[in-house]
Amino acid sequence: MNLLDGKLVSAKIKEDIKQEAAAFTAETGRKPHLVAILVGNDGGSETYVASKMRNCELVGFESTNIRYDVTISEAELIAKIQEINADPTIDGLIVQLPLPKHINPDTITEAIDYRKDVDGFHPINLGRMQRNLPCFIPATPYGILLMLDHYGIDTAGKKAVVVGRSNIVGSPMSILLARNTNPGNCTVTLTHSRTHNLQEEVLQGDIVVAAIGKKNFVTADMVKPGAIVIDVGINREDSPATKSGFKLYGDVDFEAVSQKASWITPVPGGVGLMTIVGLLKNTLEAAKGTIYGRS
């Protein structure tokens, strides 16, 4: 078993981003600028946004965290997004999910200028991704591709099985692995909670991407020997035994599956770190205007 080490890969790529950002700043007189909007005080969201802001600082970006109380109206939030869209000093904008129930996340996503949509969720970016055109790729799938590329894993002609069909990970991951690119050129099966004979489907995977949001969902009897297993899950459980008071688990039973896999990502220390890298790369590309030009 070989470890797909997100800590090692993300550190290397962040160093590359840092050098590119320094060159951009020297040329333009300003830093790439990412704005994150956080509504409410969800614990997981607070942690994610703090990590994104911290990583921006590490690579030489400017970052701004805008916080709103859970009572903010959808109209007020959209008005702020439109203000950011029109600000040429801001390159990337993310609105951290989940949002309060009275705010439609699709409406908010579509309000973001697709040229600043560094999360890669806007319909224009998703549509261009499907057509294999230049775009901002959703950060988690993008991070996974960067990891596969770093380790030189040949995906062409492989059977890939994606477990989970979310718009954030599962669905875009299935499209990206099927595209005529490298990594890519897989034959892809997208499975989910309603898939019949799920175990048999996953067993066919040379590459298995688990993104279903359930602790240890993918077990050893679902994975064939030699498979490449990518665990997207981050499931948090209270644990008095840890300093933080909680323990993280993936969607894959790591201890058992690692005995069969040829490559596997750990949790933590795997895909989560690569998601940050995907976001940073998208923000740098937005600043440089290499995909859509300067907004």
> Which residue numbers are catalytic?
52, 96, 119
Residue 52: exposure state from Cβ atoms within 10 A (0-12, 13-18, ≥19): buried
Contact 210, 232 (CB under 8 A): yes
Tell me the two tokens of residue 14: 């962040």
Tell me the two tokens of residue 237: 């459980």
Contact 188, 209 (CB under 8 A): no
Tell me the two tokens of residue 135: 């775009």
Tell me the two tokens of residue 43: 């614990």
Give the list of residues 6+ apart from residue 144 with CB closer than 8 angstroms, or none. Answer: 173, 209, 230, 232, 271, 274
